[in-house]
Amino acid sequence: MASRDPEREKHWQSVLSHWQQSGQTISAFCQQRHLIQPTFCYWQRKLGFARQGKQRSPAATFVPIALISEPSVEVVLPTGVTLKLPLAAGQEQITRWLAAARAAAC
């Protein structure tokens, strides 16, 4: 079992405090500071930092899709989210779906 690292916790307390004061979304904050978003979300949960009061509506996390009756593939993300994607989907479309799923998982 890994021991607690007080310096690391102190660092992430500071990062999360700056995020809350920034008014930025998690995605924008992490991108600007070259932080890995899943790591940020891990520390956010671990240290009990709530999401910012101004939350996006659920519709903001979805990407428009068209229902098709083509073969598909299921992608299970480490967060537990499962995406069922058509095999004919383009790289850009899949990238947008994955980004939306990651953003919704935080």
Indicate whether 22 pLDDT > 80. Answer: yes
Q: What pLDDT, on the 0 to 100 scale, is given for residue 3? A: 65
Query: Which regions of 39-81 does DSSP assign to beta strands (E)?
Result: 72-76
Burial class (CB in 10 A: 0-12, 13-18, 19+), 29: buried
Please state the separation of Cα 100 from the chain's center in Å. Answer: 8
For the segment 87-101, the average pLDDT, to the nearest whole number, is 83
Cα atoms in the Cβ-side hemisphere of radius 13 Å centred on 96? 11
Would the pTM of this model clear 0.75, i.e. be above it? no
Q: What pLDDT, on the 0 to 100 scale, is given for residue 105? A: 64
Highest mean pLDDT among 17-31, 48-62, 90-104: 17-31
pLDDT digits (tens, 9 = 90+) for 42-70: 888 888 877 654 444 444 566 677 776 77
Q: What pLDDT, on the 0 to 100 scale, is given for residue 32? A: 93
d(CA 31, CA 34): 5
For the segment 23-36, the average pLDDT, to the nearest whole number, is 91
